[in-house]
Amino acid sequence: SRTGMVLSVLVILLLSVLYEAVKMGKAVLLRRALLALPRSLSHEMLAEPEEREPEDRDTGPAQDRWFRYHVGQTLFHVVQVVLGYMVMQAVMSYNAWIFLGAIVGSTLGY
């Protein structure tokens, strides 16, 4: 029906916008993770935990922050892949309106 088609196109449009938003969020998290890394790395910091002195074995706040950003990036990546495959499957229906909805959604999201 006409209503079903309009709703389908709107859903694909929103999924495409969400895909672009997640892609941007992932880039922001990458920038924050890179800023959380220490400015200089010494040989002692790169050594395995068993080789370090006992007082150096605990992780610092910068390493904890970097790890949290990395986990966030991982989650954003999974969401981005799932959304991308969902939009791709919809476009593979070879429906021109669905295709245009995906294109307009990507344009608006970007």
Domain ranges of the chain: 1-46+62-108
pLDDT averaged per 10 residues in sequence order, the chain, 110 residues: 93 94 89 75 56 54 76 90 94 93 93
Give long-range contacts, CB 8 A cutoff, 24+ apart: 33-36.
Answer: 33/66, 33/69, 33/70, 33/73, 36/62, 36/65, 36/66, 36/69
What is the predicted pLDDT for the residue at 42? Answer: 55
Give me the pLDDT at residue 86, please.
Answer: 94
What pLDDT does residue 80 have? 92
Burial grade of 20 (CB within 10 A; 0-12, 13-18, 19 or more): middle
pTM of the entire predicted model:
0.70
What is the predicted pLDDT for the residue at 65? 77
